[in-house]
Structure 1
Amino acid sequence: MHRSILFFAALLIAAPAAAAPVEEVIAAERAFAADSQSESLKTTFTRFAAEDGIALRPFAILGAHEFIASWPDADSAGSLQWEPAFAGAALSGDLGFTTGPYETADGGHGTYLTVWQRQADGEWRWLIDHGAPGSRTPAAFDAPEVALLGPSANPANTEADGMLELMAADTHVDSSLAHGWAAIAEMLSDDARVMGMEADTAIGRTAAAGALAARPEPVAAHYEGGGVSAAGDLGWTYGYADWREGEETRRAAYLRIWQRQGDGWRIVVDNFAPFPPR
C-alpha cells in the first residue's frame, strides 16, 4: 500500500500542470492576433467569434458574424497587429478579457478590449471586441509579461445574483453620469484601466482622473447588456452614451469589465469609444 501511494504521488508530480484560465485567455488572444498576420481579417475574426458574439454599431447592436460578413473579402493579412498587456479570468474559468495596444499598417493605433468566453467544446471565443482608436497603452509589443488581474476574494453567491447586482451597479453609474464622471471614478478598482477619447490608457485611480476629465459631459448613458461568470466574480457591461456637441448629438459606445471585490462590484477596465460625427 505504501508503495502504491508513492507511485501515484510520483505520477501527480510528473504530470504537467493544467494552464490557468487566464493563461488560456492570453493564449487565445495571441493565436487570434497571430492568425491575422497570415489570413484576411474577415477570416480570422469570423473563426474566433462566438456564435452569440456582438458588435456595437452607432444605432444597432449586431451579431458579430452578421457584422463581419459585411466586411470586404480583400486580402488584409498583416494590416492589423495587436498584443495583450493586461488580462483577467473568472474563478470558474468560463469568462475572461484582455486589453492592449494595436497598430494598423497605415500608421493608426489605439487600445483594444476583448471579452472572451469558454465554449461548450472548451475553446475560447470572443463575445465582443472593442477598442479606443487613437489611445496608446503603456506597453510595447515586445513586453515580456502581461499584467494580470488578481483573483476575486468575494464572488457572488450565484451567477444570477451577480448579474442582478452588476446590472444595478452599471445602471447606477449610467444615471449618475448626467452629473459628471465622478460616478465612474468612485467605482474604479485601485488598478483600473481607463481608455478612450484618444487619450493614453490611464492606470490607477489617480491617472484615471485625468482621462475622465477629457470626456464630454454631461452625457445620457444607458445600459444595453452584459454577462457574469458562473462564479459570480467577473462581469462585463456595455451600452451607449449621448451628449451634445454644439448643435449636434454625438454618441459613444462603452464597454466595462467588472470584478466583485471585497466592497462589491468594481470597474477594472472602462472603455469609452465615440463614433465619428454623422
Structure 2
Amino acid sequence: MRVLVLTLALSLPSMAAAQMPDAAPVIAAERAFAADGRALGIAGSFNKWAEPDGIVIAAGRAQRVSAVYPPEAVRDPQEPLLEWWPNFAGIAASGDLGFTTGGVAVNGQRAGHYFTVWRRQADGSWRWVYDGGPASPSSDVAGPDADPVVLPASPVAPMPADMAVRSVRVNEEMLHMGASMAQKEVHLTWLAPDARLYVARLPPATDPQAQAAALDAWPHGFQFGPAENGGVSAHGDLVWGYGPARWEADGLARTGHWVRLWQRRPSEPGDRVGEWRIVVAYLIPAPPPPATQ
C-alpha cells in the first residue's frame, strides 16, 4: 500500500511551490452563520447555511438538519440566544473542505463547544455538511474577538479520495480494536500533538500532556463501531466521520457517537506521502437511560 501511494504521489504534480489555500473563507462563513443565528434564529440560520443533507447528531441519532430544525417552524420568541465563535480552524490543501471549532454561549453564558465541517460549493460559496458539539466547557477559551488558531494545510502530495478514505478506515479499525481494552494508549498513538481533544467537564486538550490527562477521564475501554458517514477532501488530506460508541460510566451502559477529523501530514521534513493523524476528536453521548424505580 505505501509503495502504491508513493508511486501515485510522485506521478502527480507537486504542490511544493504552489500557494497553499487560506482558511479565511471558512472562518468567515462560520462567523456569518453565527451572526445569522441572532438575526434569523437557530432554525433559520442552520437551514440557511447547511447543505440540504447537512447532518446534526441530536437525541442519540444522526439526523438531517431539516428534521432537527424544521425550516417552516415559527421562531419561538422565548428561544434562547445561541452564540458561537471559532477558536480553531483549517482547510484542505485542495481548498474544498474545511472546519472550525470553538466556544458556545447560551444567553450569554459559556456552554460547551461546537464543531462544523464545511464544503465549498460549485459557485464558490461555503455550506456546512456536519454540525455538532462536545460538552467540554468553554469558560477559559478565547472569546469571539480573538483570531482562531489555524491548522496549517498539509503539504503532502495528492491522494485519490477513495484511497484516502480506505486508509483512514483501516486506521480506525486498529484504533477501535485497541480502544476496547486500552483507549488512552491507542488514542495517544493516533492523536496529532496539536489536536483538539474534547472530553466532557474538561477544557479542550491541545497538547500531548493535556491530551493524556483528558483521556484519563474517559472510561478505560470503548466499543466503537465503524463510520456511519463522513467525507473527504479532493486532495485526500482531510477525512472526517462519525460512528456509534458504547461504554460504561458510573455503572451504567451508555451509548453515543464518536466524531473525528483526520489529517494526512508529513512524518518528517520532505515526506510527501504522510501519515494520518487525528486533529479533532470527541464523543456525543446519547441521552442517559431512565433511572430505575
Q: TM-score, normalised by structure 2?
A: 0.82
Using the TM superposition, give the Cα deviation of residue 109 of structure 1 relative to its aligned residue in structure 2, in angstroms.
0.6
Residue of structure 2 in register with 1:6 after alignment: none
- Residue aligning to 1:13: none
Match of 1:167 in 2: 169
Residue 29 of structure 2 aligns with which residue? 28
Please tell me whether residue 249 in structure 1 is matched to residue 248 in structure 2. Answer: no
Q: 1:156 to 1:164 in 2, by over 3 A?
A: farther
Closer/same/farther in 2, CA of residues 60 and 275 from structure 1, 3 Å limit: closer
1:243 Cα deviation from its structure 2 partner? 1.4
- 2:232 aligned to which of 228, 231, 234: 228
Q: CA deviation at 1:247?
A: 5.5
| CA contact 2:257–2:284 (8 Å) conserved in 1 | yes
Letter in 2 for 1:46: N
Inter-partner Cα distance in structure 1 for 2:78 and 2:236? 39
Matched, 1:265 2:276: yes
State the match for 1:274 in structure 2: 285
Q: CA deviation at 1:100?
A: 0.7
Deviation digits for residues 151-173 of structure 1 (CA, Å, limit 9, x no counterpart): 21224521111111111122321
Amino acid at match of 1:253: H
Q: Which amino acid aligns with 1:250?
A: R
1:11 counterpart residue number: none
**Separation (CA, whole Å) in 1 of partners of 2:221 and 2:104:** 30
Residue 143 (structure 1) shift: 4.3
Equivalent AA in structure 2 for residue 277 of structure 1: P
**In structure 1, what residue type is equivalent to 2:130?**
I
Structure 2 unaligned runs (5+)?
1-18, 268-274
Given that 1:227 and 1:235 are in contact with CA atoms closer than 8 Å, whether structure 2 keeps it comes out as: yes
For structure 1, the 5+ residue unaligned runs are 1-17
Question: Contact (CA 8 Å) 2:110, 2:137: kept in 1 or not?
Answer: no
Equivalent pair of 2:137/2:201 in contact (CA under 8 Å)? yes
Question: Conserved in 1, the CA contact under 8 Å of 2:197 and 2:281?
Answer: yes
User: Could you list the per-position Cα deviations for residues 10-33 of structure 1 after superposition, in whole angstroms to 9, with x for gaps in the alignment?
Assistant: xxxxxxxx9944110000000001
Q: How does 1:10-25 map to 2 (within 5 A)?
A: 20-25=21-26
Please say if residues 114 and 131 of structure 2, whose CA atoms lie closer than 8 Å, have aligned partners that are also in contact.
yes
Number of positions where the alignment pairs a residue of Structure 1 with one of Structure 2: 261
In the alignment, the residues of structure 2 paired with residue 163 and residue 186 of structure 1 have an alpha-carbon distance, to the nearest angstrom, of 19
1:129-278 matched pairs, under 5 angstroms: 129-136=131-138, 138-181=140-183, 182-223=185-226, 224-245=228-249, 248-263=252-267, 264-278=275-289
Measure the CA separation in 2 of the matches of 1:265 and 1:65. 33
2:87 paired residue number: 85
Contact 1:196 1:273 in 2 (8 A): no
Which structure has the greater CA radius of gyration? 1
Aligned partner of residue 39 in structure 2, secondary structure: coil
Partner secondary structure for residue 201 of structure 1: coil
Percent same amino acid at aligned positions? 34
Distance of 1:136 and 1:222 partners within structure 2: 29
Distance 1:155 1:188 in 2: 21
| Residues 187 and 112 of structure 1, relative CA distance in 2, 3 Å threshold | same
- Corresponding residue for residue 47 of structure 1: 48
| Residue of structure 1 in register with 2:8 after alignment | none
For 1:112 and 1:230, the matched residues in 2 are separated by 24
Question: Which shows bigger deviation, 37-46 or 70-79?
Answer: 70-79
Displacement of 1:268 in angstroms is: 0.7
Query: Shift in Å at residue 212 of structure 1?
Result: 1.0
TM-score, normalised via structure 1 length: 0.86
- Contact 1:100/1:137 (8 A) holds in 2: no
Residues in 2 aligned to 1:245 and 1:149: alpha-carbon distance in whole angstroms? 33
C-alpha distance in 1 between matches for 2:136 and 2:194: 22
Match of 2:261, SS?
A: strand
Any conservation in 2 of the 1:111–1:137 contact (CA below 8 Å)? Answer: no
Q: Specify which of 118, 121, 124 is matched with residue 119 of structure 1.
A: 121
Shift of 1:274: 1.9
